[in-house]
């Protein structure tokens, strides 16, 4: 068995009140001279031993999560610490639990003969101490764990009431010192948090005012915030993501690439539906539609300017609420990002307004000096000295209401983003309620132009929620051509609205009959079609017959029996029987010229106005 270390000779008992008070004063002075919590705890155990009869002292923290009593500070000048020295003990065999639960000091007269506490008994024999007193501290360590202070004597000692009061008073002073250290630490953290928030504000505002890119500002924000973020920019339809919120599931690079490629539309929809909470609430955010099979708890903050949603910021905290200073940092970042998007929004709105004013004069023919007009077009970046076309897009006839200013800005940004990718030099503006896309002519072929128009239609439909109509104007080679091209598009769109057409329409789709009908009362025309053809259609639905298509084919083939029967794939006798039944059931007299004309007009109307 290893030789037990020799203990220092015990001090003389401090029996007088004066000495104990002097010792407590010395303890208070030593304890309160520290500011860092770890330093304060070390001073506590040192002070207790320096000014009392006790040869060593320790402070233990109860870590109930791990099930151990953990050493946080110790003073024992007669025992050499090593890397293998034990620093935690099972709570199940530790007296510290009892001390904290009762709140009463515990005296172990001889720890070397204490089978109720086997760990303490082993420790006492190794270190050579006997009497032990454990006192609860009314404070917690930096991890929020309750603490117990213990003092040890190398010999068996009788602990009287005065000594116990002395130890409890020393423990009270120690608790005050710990609380003071906590308070000072909180002040330091507060000062550091405020400094960090100020630094973020200064750095981001400097970048905004210097005209740096949004990506640069997002990098700054990601550096300051402890949580992964992503930023949605609806002014340019892009998503900027940095660290992955679940790096074990998806790497940073893959996370950023997939969101950049697939996330703008879906996250834009999320931002427009989100309500500001200033990072006080979180909700599940699904990324399945963005090509990532994950649903992650996130804090979603729309970036608003004058009520318009220009983008958004998403913060991934693992579902935990933000610390106060992290929330302050997040809101500073939100402000800086909103300012950056506002600058982009104002620049674009100014350009769009200028384009609208210029094209408005061009479309009205209200210009006189061709050289001056061409010079201004060049200043605006509009290549009017080369052939170009106008594509005019408008909401369909069933749109609830004209787009408001926010919607108009979104439409223009979306159309310009799509057009400029394929058509360098493209420009956009609003002319009345219609969006106009200026497209310089390119030698890329008809298929390429068709694909671009389809993409522009899809973009506007996604923004407005309704399928638009579009008309492509004639090729413009001179300034005077633009007025006629705009008038052509307006006439085609008006015709399409009246006949409730959607998508890309052209004048060739509307024959003289359709153009004539477009000027008539649409409700009256629909009632006429309904009254004339619906009885036949209803009968066909109930009886699974085919009188309506038979009559349509007969009229289409000029009331000639054999061509109609051939077209229907039936015998002439069958055709005659069907037509006779039509007369019997509905009183239709196909020998009557007026009756044939009414039916023919009804069928043509049904085709022209969409059934």
Q: How far apart are CA 490 and CA 393, in angstroms?
A: 10
* Cβ proximity of 314 and 285 under 8 Å: yes
Position 12 confidence tier, pLDDT thresholds 50, 70, 90: very low
Question: What is the arithmetic mean of pLDDT over 141-167?
Answer: 89
| Weakest mean pLDDT among 147-156, 307-316, 391-400, 479-488 | 391-400
Separation of alpha carbons 393 and 406, rounded Å? 17
> Which residue from 288, 251, 247 is spatially nearest to 270, judged by alpha carbons?
288
Taking residues 374-385, report their average pLDDT.
Answer: 89
Residues 6+ apart with CB under 8 A from 32: 176, 177, 180
Contact 333, 302 (CB under 8 A): no
Task: Select the more confidently predicted residue: 191 or 331.
Answer: 331
Q: How far apart are CA 267 and CA 312, in angstroms?
A: 8
Q: Which two tokens stand for residue 485?
A: 């091209």
pLDDT at 302: 94
511 confidence band (pLDDT: 50, 70, 90): low
- Whether the per-residue pLDDT at 514 is higher than 60: the answer is no
The rounded distance, in Å, linking the Cα atoms of 96 and 100 is: 6
Among residues 333, 323, 330, 317, the alpha carbon closest in space to that of 227 is found at 317
Is the sign of the CA dihedral 320, 324, 325, 331 positive or negative? positive
- Condensed to tens digits (0 to 9), the pLDDT of residues 415-472 reads 888 888 878 889 999 998 899 999 998 766 677 888 899 999 998 998 888 899 999 9
Instruction: State the pLDDT confidence band at 409, using cuts at 50, 70 and 90.
Output: confident
Contact 42, 73 (CB under 8 A): yes
Going across the sheet that includes 238-241, the strands are: 238-241, 229-233, 308-315, 295-305, 283-286
Give 176-187 as a DSSP string.
HHHHHHHHHHHH
- Can you say whether residue 284 is alpha, beta or left, with left for phi > 0 and alpha for psi between -120 and 50 degrees? beta
Average pLDDT, the chain: 85
Give the lowest-confidence range in 136-150, 154-168, 414-428, 498-512.
498-512
At which residue do the structure tokens 């790497």 appear? 251
| 512 vs 600, more confident | 600
**pLDDT tens across 548-597, in order?**
999 999 988 888 999 999 999 999 999 999 999 988 898 888 888 888 88
What tens digit of pLDDT does each residue of 419-434 get?
888 788 899 999 988 9
62: which strand partners? 69
Q: State residue 436's pLDDT score.
A: 94
Residue 206 pLDDT > 50, yes or no?
Answer: yes
On the question of pLDDT at 537 being above 50, the answer is yes
d(CA 35, CA 13): 31
- Does the pLDDT at position 313 exceed 90? yes
pLDDT over 90 (residue 172): no
Q: d(Cα 295, Cα 283) in Å, to the nearest integer? A: 10
User: And the tokens for 334?
Assistant: 């939100």
For residue 133, count CB atoms less than 10 angstroms from its CB and return exposed for 0-12, middle for 13-18, buried for 19 or more: buried
Q: What separation in angstroms does the CA of 246 have from each of 101, 254, 555?
A: 40, 11, 68
Of 37-51, 333-347, 417-431, 529-543, minimum mean pLDDT range: 37-51
Q: Extract the tokens encoding 315.
A: 């913060």
Query: Is the model's pLDDT at 86 over the cut of 90?
Result: no
181 CB-near residues (< 8 Å, 6+ apart): 34, 35, 36, 37, 40
pLDDT at 297 over 90: yes
CA 230, distance to chain mean position in Å, is 7
pLDDT band at 141 (very low <50, low <70, confident <90, very high): confident
Q: Given this model, what pLDDT does residue 14 score?
A: 41
What phi-psi label fits residue 445: left (phi over 0), alpha (psi between -120 and 50 degrees) or beta? left
Whole-number pLDDT of residue 205: 82
| Residue 4, pLDDT score | 46
pLDDT confidence of 344, banded at 50, 70, 90? confident
End-to-end CA distance of the chain: 104
**Separation CA 378–CA 360 (nearest Å):** 16
Q: What percent of the chain has pLDDT over 90?
A: 30
Find out whether 569 and 576 touch, Cβ atoms under 8 Å. no
Residue 19: predicted pLDDT: 62
**Alpha-carbon gap, residue 531 to 538, rounded angstroms:** 11
Reported residue count of the chain is 611
Q: DSSP string spanning 550-578?
A: HHHHHHHTTT-HHHHHHHHTS-HHHHHHH
Residue 150 token pair: 């213990």
């Amino acid at each position: 068995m290893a030789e037990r270390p020799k203990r220092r000779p015990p001090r003389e008992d401090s029996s007088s009140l004066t000495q104990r008070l002097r010792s407590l004063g010395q303890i208070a002075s030593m304890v309160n001279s520290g500011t860092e919590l770890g330093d304060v705890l070390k001073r506590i155990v040192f002070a207790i031993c320096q000014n009392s009869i006790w040869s060593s002292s320790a402070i233990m923290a109860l870590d109930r999560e791990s099930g151990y009593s953990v050493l946080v500070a110790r003073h024992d000048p007669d025992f050499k610490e090593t890397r293998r020295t034990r620093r935690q003990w099972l709570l199940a065999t530790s007296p510290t639990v009892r001390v904290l639960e009762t709140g009463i000091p515990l005296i172990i007269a001889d720890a070397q003969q204490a089978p109720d506490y086997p760990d303490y008994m082993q420790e006492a024999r190794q270190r050579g101490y006997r009497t032990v007193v454990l006192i609860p501290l009314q404070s917690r360590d930096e991890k929020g764990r309750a603490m117990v202070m213990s003092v040890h004597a190398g010999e068996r000692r009788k602990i009287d009431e005065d000594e116990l009061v002395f130890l409890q008073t020393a423990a009270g002073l120690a608790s005050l010192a710990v609380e003071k250290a906590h308070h000072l630490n909180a002040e330091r953290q507060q000062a550091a948090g405020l400094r960090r928030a100020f630094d973020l504000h200064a750095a981001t505002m400097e970048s905004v005012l210097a005209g740096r890119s949004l990506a640069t500002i997002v990098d700054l924000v990601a550096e300051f915030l402890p949580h992964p973020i992503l930023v949605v920019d609806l002014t340019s339809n892009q998503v900027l993501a940095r660290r992955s919120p679940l790096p074990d599931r998806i790497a940073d690079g893959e996370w950023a690439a997939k969101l950049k490629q697939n996330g703008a539309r879906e996250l834009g929809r999320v931002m427009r539906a989100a309500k500001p909470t200033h990072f006080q609430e979180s909700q599940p955010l699904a990324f399945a539609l963005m090509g990532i099979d994950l649903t992650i708890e996130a804090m979603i903050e729309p970036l608003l300017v004058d009520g318009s949603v220009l983008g958004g910021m998403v913060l991934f905290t693992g579902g935990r609420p933000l610390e106060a200073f992290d929330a302050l940092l997040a809101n500073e970042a939100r402000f800086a990002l909103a300012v950056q998007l506002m600058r982009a929004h104002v620049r674009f709105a100014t350009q769009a307004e200028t384009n609208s004013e210029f094209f408005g004069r061009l479309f009205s023919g209200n210009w006189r000096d061709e050289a001056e007009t061409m010079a201004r077009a060049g200043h605006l970046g509009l290549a009017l000295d080369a052939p170009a076309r106008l594509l005019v897009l408008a909401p369909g006839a069933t749109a609830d209401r004209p787009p408001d200013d926010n919607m108009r800005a979104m439409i223009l940004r979306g159309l310009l983003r799509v057009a400029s990718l394929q058509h360098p030099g493209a420009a956009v503006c609003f002319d009345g309620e219609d969006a106009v896309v200026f497209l310089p002519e390119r030698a890329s072929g008809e298929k390429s132009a068709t694909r671009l128009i389809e993409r522009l239609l899809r973009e506007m439909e996604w923004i407005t929620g309704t399928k638009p109509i579009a008309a492509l104007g004639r090729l413009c080679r001179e300034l005077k051509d633009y007025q006629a091209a705009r008038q052509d598009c307006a006439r085609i769109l008006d015709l399409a609205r009246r006949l409730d057409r959607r998508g890309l329409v052209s004048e060739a789709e509307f024959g003289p009959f359709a153009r004539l009908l477009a000027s008539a009362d649409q409700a009256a025309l629909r009632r006429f079609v309904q009254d004339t053809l619906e009885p036949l259609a209803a009968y066909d639905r109930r009886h699974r017959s085919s009188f309506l298509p038979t009559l349509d084919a007969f009229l289409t083939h000029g009331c000639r029996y054999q061509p109609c029967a051939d077209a229907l794939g039936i015998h002439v006798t069958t055709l005659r029987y069907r037509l006779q039944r039509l007369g019997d059931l509905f009183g239709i007299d196909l020998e009557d010229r007026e009756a044939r004309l009414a039916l023919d007009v009804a069928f043509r109307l049904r085709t022209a106005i969409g059934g």
